[in-house]
Chains A and B, each alone.
Chain A
Amino acid sequence: MFPYGNRRHVDPVAGAPALELDLESVSYPGSAAPALQQVQLSVPVGARVALVGHNGAGKSTLLKAVAGLLPFSGRVRICGRPIGACHHRVAYLPQHGEIDWQFPIELRKLVLTGRYVHLGWLRRPSLQDYAICDALIARLGLAQMAARQIAQLSGGQQQRALLARALAQEAEVLLLDEPLIAVDAETRTVLATVMDELRARGRTLLVATHDVSGLAAEFDSAVFLSEGRVLPAAGGEPMQRQRTAAGPAV
């Protein structure tokens, strides 16, 4: 009932993949029909995987199930541990509309909420927490806007602020839900740079996108979803292509 807080830090299982899914079904509360069915997926540590599909294909549902936001039947392991064993290992970047942007807080405070998972009940952010957030805000080109109320930011700036918050969590697995939708060129460039940096640091990324144009260049592998199922390739295997030793092979 009270799992939030730094007392929940648990070491990952040695040698385990970053993410291991064997989902039978995922449903939204109040809905009888499953939004996602029969998904098997194993994502190695440090991989960058795209979840590709049209609206309603099940990309966001899959990310929400991994983030622990939706009930599911099946098995999910993050760094070899079940969901909730250690919340700080998973950061989730939601779609733009899932936050109340009119809420009266400034950008810096929004980013600071990424540190709360390390604090838990009753503990206040330390100077170090603020320093981590300020460095991330500057790195994402938002230093000038740090004191602005979040509604006063552009769509691209809001997306960068959410990414800064996800980074502030210092998670090993990042779940990004359509991070590039309706953002400006500057934000696209910043996001691409940050994603490269994350890969260099061995972070694992699972990114929902409906944009197939940059898959080969930006991702190690892709999982194609349609109507709540993983699309099979011609040979009947799930259409999930893994990075080869020679490099990206999407």
Chain B
Amino acid sequence: MNWLLAPLQFTFMQTGLLAALLVGVTCAVLGVYVVLRRMAFIGDALAHTALPGVVVAYLYGWNLFVGALVAGLLTALGIGWISRRATVREDTAIGVLFTAMFALGILMLSGMRSFRDFTHILFGNILGVTRADLLLISAMCALVLLVLALFHKELELTSFDPLHAQVMGLNPDLVRYGLLALLALMVVTGLKVAGVVLTSALLVTPAAAAALLTNRLPRMMAIAALLAACSASVGLYASYYFSVAAGSAIVLTCALLFGTAWLYRSLWQAGAAR
């Protein structure tokens, strides 16, 4: 038990673990919708589009979180607007906007002639999470989970039968904008924990693994949250004991759990076919 408790004597490990658990679990629950709506690409896209927001915020001395959030929300709304009524497919809209926004960020960075200040934004620094960061992360995660709980039936219905929603007067585009906004919020919240680049993995991988293990939505969310919590804990301990990057260790643990779930599902299907 000592090996389990020893890292927690350090404050930075306590706050880091709490932050990783909060972000991991919230991303996993939100990620179930991302996976079921086949929007896996969106997390990656929103993460990349945070870059110009961060750069602009840095240039003008604003809060980097706010800059990233504004850029993420603008991208989310842009994706929803361009792909509304299926005139342009959503994956196409994502592809166009995410590369354009990332290019804009690089362009602005190259003008500054310095990439050094933004590495922690891009790749995360979980052990640098402060108490103030933890408060912000807690508030954002609570907000996202609350919105998901309040609008669960609308999110669920528009995910599998948007036509029925529309006949009832429930605008599926409005729900999609809301979901995209939550995604932008969560990706930006994951900045400190896994970095913008790896947060997308927290959105997709636990949910994708859970989808292999059950065909019930509430159970899928619970399993995804559990897998994310395991990944966060194992990743952080691995980072402590083996001196590796925490964000990467968390995401790789997620991937390992996904592989295990995939193997289990494959074996189960092979057994059922016999």
A, B assembled together: yes
Min distance, Cβ B95 to any Cβ of chain A, angstroms:
19
Main secondary structure of the interface of B (DSSP, over half): helix
B156 touches A105 (CB 8 A): yes
Give the shortest distance, in Å, between B157 (CB) and chain A (any CB): 5
Q: Which residues of A contact B157 (CB under 8 A)?
A: 113, 116
Does A4 make an interface contact (CB < 8 A)? Answer: yes
Measured between C-beta atoms, what is the minimum distance from A175 to chain B in Å? 9
Shortest beta-carbon distance from A62 to chain B in Å? 14
B170 within 8 A of A: yes
Q: How far is the CA of A90 from the CA of B166 in the complex (A)?
A: 12
Query: B61 to chain A: which residues have CB within 8 Å?
Result: none
Bound CA span A12–B36, Å = 39
A234 at interface by CB-CB < 8 Å: no
In the complex, identify which listed stretch (A18-26, A96-104, A188-196) lies at the interface while the others stay far away.
A96-104
Q: Once bound together, how far apart are the Cα atoms of A240 and B36, in whole Å?
A: 44
Bound-complex Cα distance A124 to B149 (A): 11
Q: Any chain A CB within 8 A of the CB of B232?
A: no
Docked pose: A210 CA to B153 CA in angstroms: 35
A117 touches B86 (CB 8 A): no
Instruction: Give Cα A88–Cα B168 distance, bound, in whole angstroms.
Output: 7
| Interface residue? A106 (CB, 8 A) | yes
Contact, CB under 8 Å: A121 / B154? yes
**When the two chains form their complex, are residues A103 and B168 in contact, meaning their CB atoms are under 8 A apart?**
no
Cβ-based interface call for B161 (8 A): yes
- Interchain CB contact under 8 A, A68 and B216: no
**Residue A29 is within 8 A (CB to CB) of chain B in the complex:** yes
- Residues on A with C-beta less than 8 A from B166 are 67-69
CB of B243 within 8 Å of the partner chain: no
Q: In the complex, A94 Cα to B168 Cα: how many Å?
A: 13
Asked if B211 is at the interface (CB within 8 A of a chain A CB), the reply is yes
Check B36 against A117 for contact (C-beta < 8 Å).
no
- From the candidates B36, B164, B167, B174, name the one contacting A104 in the complex (CB within 8 A): B36
| Chain B stretch 196-220: residues in CB contact (< 8 A) with chain A | 211, 214-217, 220
Restricting to A117-134, which residues have a CB under 8 Å from any CB of B? 117, 119, 121-122, 124-125
CA distance A27 to B44 in the complex (A): 35
Q: Which of B86, B157, B171, B211 has the most CB of A within 10 A?
A: B157
> Size band of the B side of the interface?
20 to 34
Q: Which residues of B contact A30 (CB under 8 A)?
A: 85-87
- A105 engages B217 (CB within 8 Å): yes
Q: A92–B171 contact, CB under 8 A?
A: no
Whether a CB of chain A sits under 8 angstroms from the CB of B100 is no
Contact of A113 among B36, B161, B220 (CB under 8 A): B161
Minimum CB distance partner of B166 in chain A:
A69
Chain B residue contacts of A91, Cβ below 8 A: 167
Asked whether B163 lies within 8 Å of A69 as measured between CB atoms, the reply is yes
- B150 sits at the interface (CB 8 A): yes
Using CB atoms, name the residue of chain B closest to A113: B157
A226 on the interface (CB 8 Å rule)?
no
Judged by a CB distance under 8 angstroms, whether B240 is at the interface is no
Say whether B264 faces chain A, with CB atoms less than 8 Å apart: no
Q: Within 8 Å of chain B (Cβ to Cβ): is A149?
A: yes
Closest CB in chain A relative to B211 CB, distance in Å:
7
A122 and B150: CB pair below 8 A?
yes
Contact across chains for A117 and B159 when beta carbons are under 8 A apart: no
Minimum distance in angstroms from B238 CB to a CB of chain A: 31
Closest CB-CB distance, A7 to chain B, in whole Å? Answer: 11
Most chain A C-beta atoms within 10 Å of own C-beta, residue among B86, B167, B170, B174: B167
Q: Give complex CA distance A4, B211 in Å.
A: 30
Please, how many angstroms separate the alpha-carbon atoms of A228 and B53 in the complex? 49
Confirm or deny: A245 has a beta carbon within 8 angstroms of a beta carbon on chain B: no
Closest Cβ neighbor of A90 among chain B residues: B167
Contacts of A88 in B (CB 8 A): 168
Closest beta carbon of chain B to A96's beta carbon, Å: 12
Question: Are B169 and A29 in contact (CB-based, < 8 A)?
Answer: no
- When C-beta atoms are compared, the residue in chain A nearest to B85 turns out to be A29
0/1 string, B53-86, CB within 8 A of A gives 1: 0000000000000000000000000000000011
Extra 13 A-B pairs, beta carbons < 8 Å, given A99-B161, A100-B160: A4-B165, A4-B169, A29-B86, A30-B87, A88-B168, A90-B167, A91-B167, A105-B160, A105-B217, A113-B153, A113-B161, A121-B154, A149-B215
A residues near B (Cβ < 8 Å) are 1-5, 8, 29-30, 67-69, 84, 87-88, 90-92, 94, 98-100, 103-106, 109, 113, 116-117, 119, 121-122, 124-125, 149, 151, 165
Question: Can you report 21 residue pairs joining A to B where beta carbons are below 8 Å apart?
Answer: A4-B168, A4-B169, A29-B87, A30-B85, A67-B167, A69-B166, A87-B168, A88-B168, A90-B167, A94-B161, A94-B163, A98-B161, A100-B159, A100-B160, A104-B36, A104-B214, A113-B157, A113-B161, A116-B153, A116-B170, A121-B154
Q: Which 5 residue pairs across A and B have the least CB separation, nearest first?
A: A103-B160, A4-B170, A3-B169, A4-B169, A87-B169
